Structure 1
Amino acid sequence: MNQFKVERYNDTHFELWNTFVSKTKNGTFLFHRDFMEYHKDRFKDYSLLVFKKNRLIALLPANVKDNVLYSHQGLTYGGLLIEPATKFQMVFDCFKTIMHWLSVAGISTFNLKVLPAIYSPVPNDELLYLMFAMNANLYRRDSLAVINLQSPVAFSKSRLEGCKRAEKHKLIIKEEHTFDAFWNTILIPNLSNKHKASPVHSLEEITYLKSKFPENIRQFNVYHDDQLVAGTTVFVTDYVAHSQYISGNASKNELGSLDVLHAHLIQNVFNKQLYFDFGTSNENAGKQINTGLQFWKEGFGARTGVQDFYSLETKQYKALESVLI
């Protein structure tokens, strides 16, 4: 493994990092440094670059806290970013090198947040095998509600009836380029009242990110008699459209506002994508599922994918020594 070299990310790597992300089989705009660093005051970055004979071969987006390395906690997913041509042996050697390097550096534990399979057009399960080989602890598994847009399942009767109500009430759907109305009128009040929570992104943060990634972050609002009644914020990657935020006012069921909005997005706006990802319906760290929310998503033809979360001690890299024969 002496031909491999690991370096911590610093500002001099900015262009190198972003260029490599654009060439990987499993990179999305969330791994661009402009996205990763919008909340750099909240996380101590500990992202890693791996070189083989001075050629960059892999990236690991990460942060560190209390001697534990995390797949970056400010991102929805993580893992090892590699090029499509990279074969298993290279991934194996690369990850073993990282784990050894972390162990020597005094990082005791690595918590891995796996990239869901739908985000990579090329098979991307090398790390799942390595987690098994190192006897990593699967401590969480979230269920994702996903529509295969190239082989869709028909909408349920309930969702079609919602769309009919929306048509009756003459709802209007608009794509907006600002977030103020949705954040302040719908999203923040709903999260506060129902969950005593706030959006992961503040209004200032989502506005900043939109300025950096205008084609990847899109806002769609629904109006009834010129009044905003519902909306969704969609994160768009090369193959997936993901509803990051979904919210409507108290009349959403009566008006069918969220039904007609997502029917429009699925059938008309993002129908050329491979997948539409509603995200999770999980609570209690993946151990419970909100059945009402799951029922609503499945009404559009969504079915279940998963995202895994693993924890392992870095010294477990030694278990890899007997894997290859």
Structure 2
Amino acid sequence: MEIINYTEEWKEKWDNFILESNNGTMFHLQRFFDYHTPGKFNFHHLIFLDKGNIKALLPGAIINNVFESPIGASYGSIVTKDVKFVEAMEIVSTLIEWGKKNGIKEFTLTSAPMIYEKHPNQNLDFAMLWQGFKYSLHYISSAIKLDKNVDIIERFSPTIRRNIRKSFTDFNLKIEINDRYDQFYPILLDNKARHGVKPTHTYDDLIKLTELLPDNLKLFMVYKDEKPIAGSLMFFANRTVAICFYNMLYYEYAQYKPIQRVMYEVVKYCTENDYQYVDIGVSQDTKAENPMTPSISLIDFKEKFDAKTIMRNTLNLKL
């Protein structure tokens, strides 16, 4: 097995491998990386070849002799098909040898949680740990396991159920799946400003992503008397998991509980369209000194939608 550097001529084969893989996501696609302004990141993506055939892919970049993955994305690390343990061991040992030969001092790799895999398979994780990688960071995420045989509203807490039912009657909220990013983005800006931060994506970023990956983004907008008051931007990472990337509202309309209603609509849509999980994202206290500090109130809110904890783990190896 050998490792070569990615070049544009591999783009179609790269993306096809990701789509056919066991653990790849939209965040591993070259089409996804294309939304970044050229030159913003000095990408150094790697292709693992065995007799000319792709065996694994690793997006990322080298920064001060540290290979980091992901860069400019939510998830990274090594993408494979449903590999046997011996194959996983060879992929990891090949990466380590490549690192030593190319002056890499450290690897920092953050993969998608295991729920993103078509077939849960921790061969790669164990192979990395056995060959010297160690966990360096854990983030707490929350995900809802979808089940067509369970009534959606009944899964939620009594207060959430009551508010969702009111949204159909007393509050008279309307939900649309549309492309009105011109309506959504001001809500996103207003929401983030309340927490003293800016969105990960600019308006132009979101428009470009919808053009590059039209099947992977869906915008659920909430209207009260025709006024947009909230929205949920979903990233459909692969055929297994959909992510609530942004759940945002105008706080002056908080009494109508638009986020609770839109969460119901999102879970309903994803259940009906055969997804396995809705990932509601990480729940860290971003103002705490320790980046792993959990946000108890946020976790508690997500648990009201029957979400369970999953972990986003970072593995590190110093050479």
Same fold (TM over 0.5): yes
Deviations 1:259-278 (A, max 9, x none): 11111221245442111110
Deviations 1:154-183 (A, max 9, x none): 110121122133231101111111312111
Whether the 8 Å contact between 2:84 and 2:123 is mirrored in structure 1 is: no
Q: Within the alignment, does 1:249 sit opposite 2:250 as a pair?
A: yes
Give the unaligned 5+ runs of structure 2: none
Q: Matches of 2:240 and 2:253 in 1, distance apart? A: 29
Identify the residue that residue 103 of structure 2 maps to in structure 1: 106
Deviations 1:210-239 (A, max 9, x none): 112111100011011111111010011201
Amino acid at match of 2:172: K
1:273 corresponds, among 259, 264, 275, to 275
Amino acid at match of 2:303: E
What is the aligned length?
Answer: 308
Q: Matches of 1:10 and 1:216 in 2, distance apart? A: 24
Amino acid at match of 1:240: V
2:145 corresponds, among 148, 151, 171, to 148
- SS of the residue 1:289 aligns to: coil
* Structural mapping, 1:32-111, within 5 Å: 32-39=29-36, 40-84=38-82, 86-111=83-108
Q: Matches of 1:164 and 1:148 in 2, distance apart? A: 22
1:286: Cα distance to partner? 4.3
1:10: Cα distance to partner? 1.3
Whether the 8 Å contact between 1:229 and 1:257 is mirrored in structure 2 is: yes
Q: Matches of 1:289 and 1:256 in 2, distance apart? A: 24
Amino acid at match of 2:44: Y
Deviation beyond 4 Å, 4+ runs, structure 1 = none
Amino acid at match of 1:298: E
Amino acid at match of 2:79: L
Identify the residue that residue 259 of structure 2 maps to in structure 1: 258
* Structural mapping, 1:209-224, within 5 Å: 209-224=209-224
1:62: Cα distance to partner? 1.1
Give the unaligned 5+ runs of structure 1: 316-325
Change (3 A) 1:183 1:19: same
Whether the 8 Å contact between 2:115 and 2:241 is mirrored in structure 1 is: yes
Identify the residue that residue 235 of structure 2 maps to in structure 1: 235
Identify the residue that residue 226 of structure 1 maps to in structure 2: 226
1:252: Cα distance to partner? 4.5
Q: Within the alignment, does 1:8 sit opposite 2:5 as a pair?
A: yes
Whether the 8 Å contact between 1:143 and 1:286 is mirrored in structure 2 is: no
Q: Within the alignment, does 1:296 sit opposite 2:301 as a pair?
A: yes
Identify the residue that residue 161 of structure 2 maps to in structure 1: 160
Identify the residue that residue 207 of structure 1 maps to in structure 2: 207
TM-score for the superposition, normalised by structure 2: 0.91
Whether the 8 Å contact between 2:173 and 2:224 is mirrored in structure 1 is: yes
- SS of the residue 2:162 aligns to: helix
Whether the 8 Å contact between 2:5 and 2:45 is mirrored in structure 1 is: yes
Q: Matches of 1:173 and 1:161 in 2, distance apart? A: 18
Give me the CA root mean square deviation: 1.7
